[in-house]
Amino acid sequence: MAFLKLPFKKQEKIKDFLLIEIGLEVVNMAKLTTDGGPKIQEVGSRNFSSVSEMFNASLEAIDELAGKTEEIPKKAIIGVSGGSIKTETTVAQYTRPNPKEPISGEEVAKVLEEVSGKGGFPGFKLFFSTIASATLDGTKVSNPIGLKGDKVALSCFIAYKDPEELAVFDKLINEIDMELEKIIPTSFAAAKMMLKKGDENALILRVGKGRCEATFLSKGHISEINRFDLGIGSPDLFLTGFEVVLEKLLKESAPELVWLYLDNQEIDAAELKEKLLEFDWKNAGLDRSPSVEVEEAAVKEVSEQVGLQALSTEAIE
């Protein structure tokens, strides 16, 4: 059986996907249709408190989804948060020998291949690599393929995970009899959403009851994704975790925005937002207080979470 396949141009492009968004403490299964723009049709959700519960929670979530929709797409895209993620962003700068030739997919793939070949973490397996952003002759572009230029800077984002965790995803895909399209770090998708809004220095926090995933956006590059085990359930203690990740970010740049989005719909970020607004930024080393925003889900009735929204956009790119 073939494992790599580029569909014929005549064949209809696959329009529907099953989005499996594995959050910090929740798993969402959503039907995504892409005809006329990405749209989340139905969602099935289940909370879990430990990684060992995640598998069963996923099966229950897809059962819920199956009860809401007539047909579940056969292609699945997994968005992951939490767990043992390690990421690195490398900006590859080079001068193109033939600036009049448009940048091809092959050229970009070669750069990614070279960059991913040089990095890595012991005991971790690469599962996602992409060009997060690019600069062409000083102009920032989201996708350089097809553009002509001389001086190129490609921001290569690479994510690694514990192979045992990846094996759980494989097992899940087999269990629900799906074809896996790709695995995307959800925080990366959320950060790209932020980049599109024009915020280049930000700290993006996905917060659950007892966990948090922090994504650093530094000078327009997604530099790192970190997690820690404190959440909205203990707002005072959470601030210590926040200080630790802030110190790491400050080594690169000062955030102009702290952007919170909730892991699931059952939690309320109002108190945490208050704490962050009262946070002593000067003591933490910032000259200017960043703004603090909480991103609300667009449609709460269908649990259409920020993670799902971000993933749905990233899935079709």
Partner 1 sequence: MKTLEFGPEATLSQILESMKAAEDENLEVSLPKGSTLLSNTINREIIEKFAKKIGKGVAVKSASLVGEEEPEDFDFVEGEDILAKKTLELGEGPVLAPSESLAEEPVESKKPSYAQQPPSKKPPSGPFKFLSGLKGRKKLLFFGAFGGTPLLILAFVFTWFLPSADVKITVEKDTKTNQITLTASAEATEVDVENRIVPLKVEEVTKSDVDEGEATGRLVVGTPAKGRVTIGNFSPHTSKKFEAGTTVKSISGLKQGLEFTLDTAVTVPKATFSGLTLVAGQVGVNTTAKKIGDEGNLPAGTEFQVGSEDVGTVKAVNDLAFTGGDSKEIAAVSEEDRKKLKEELLDKLSKEAKEELQQKLEGSTIPEGGLQVEVTKEKYDKAVGEEAKTFSLTLEVKATAKLFQEEDLKKVLVESIKPSVPEGFVVDEAGSTVGSEISQTEGEDVEILGKIKAVLIPDIKKDDLKKQLSGKNFGSAASHLQSLKNISGFEIEVKPGIFRIFKFMPFNASKINIVISEVKKDGE
Contacting partner 1 within 13-52 (CB under 8 A):
50-51
The helix-helix angle for 235-250 and 270-277 (nearest 10°) equals 50
Element (H, E) at 310: helix 306-315
CB under 8 A: which stretch of 38-46, 64-72, 187-195, 224-232 binds partner 1? 224-232
- In 3D space, the residue among 250, 228, 249 whose CA is nearest the CA of residue 239 turns out to be 228
- DSSP assignment of 37-63: S-EEEEEEEEE-SSHHHHHHHHHHHHH
**Distance between CA atoms of 287 and 170, rounded to whole angstroms?**
47
**Toward partner 1, which CB reaches closer, 33 or 84?**
84
CB under 8 A: which stretch of 121-129, 178-186, 187-195, 306-314 binds partner 1? 121-129
- In 3D space, the residue among 262, 265, 266, 253 whose CA is nearest the CA of residue 295 turns out to be 262
CB under 8 A: which stretch of 53-61, 105-113, 170-178, 276-284 binds partner 1? 105-113
Binds partner 1 by CB under 8 A, chosen from 234, 268, 299, 317: 234
Binds partner 1 by CB under 8 A, chosen from 63, 175, 179, 243: 243
Binds partner 1 by CB under 8 A, chosen from 99, 120, 210, 220: 210
At its nearest, how many Å lie between partner 1 and the CB of residue 210? 6
**Toward partner 1, which CB reaches closer, 70 or 236?**
236
Binds partner 1 by CB under 8 A, chosen from 15, 39, 74, 110: 110
Contact flag: residue 109 with partner 1 (CB under 8 A): yes
What is the token pair recorded at 214?
């922090």
Contact flag: residue 221 with partner 1 (CB under 8 A): no
Binds partner 1 by CB under 8 A, chosen from 244, 277, 298, 299: 244
- The CA R_g of the chain, rounded to the nearest whole Å, is 20
**Distance between CA atoms of 265 and 282, rounded to whole angstroms?**
32
Asked whether the beta carbons of 169 and 163 are under 8 A apart, the reply is: no
**Toward partner 1, which CB reaches closer, 200 or 238?**
238
**Toward partner 1, which CB reaches closer, 162 or 293?**
162
Question: CA geometry: angle at 159 spanning 190 and 105, to 5°?
Answer: 85
Amino acid (one-letter) located at 244: V
Binds partner 1 by CB under 8 A, chosen from 54, 203, 230, 311: 230
Asked whether the beta carbons of 132 and 220 are under 8 A apart, the reply is: no
Contacting partner 1 within 248-307 (CB under 8 A):
none
Contact flag: residue 108 with partner 1 (CB under 8 A): yes
Q: Which residues pair with 293 in a beta bridge?
A: 259
Amino acid (one-letter) located at 281: W
User: Footprint of partner 1 on this chain (CB under 8 A)?
Assistant: 1-11, 50-51, 84, 104-106, 108-110, 112-113, 122-123, 129, 210, 226-230, 233-234, 237, 240-241, 243-245
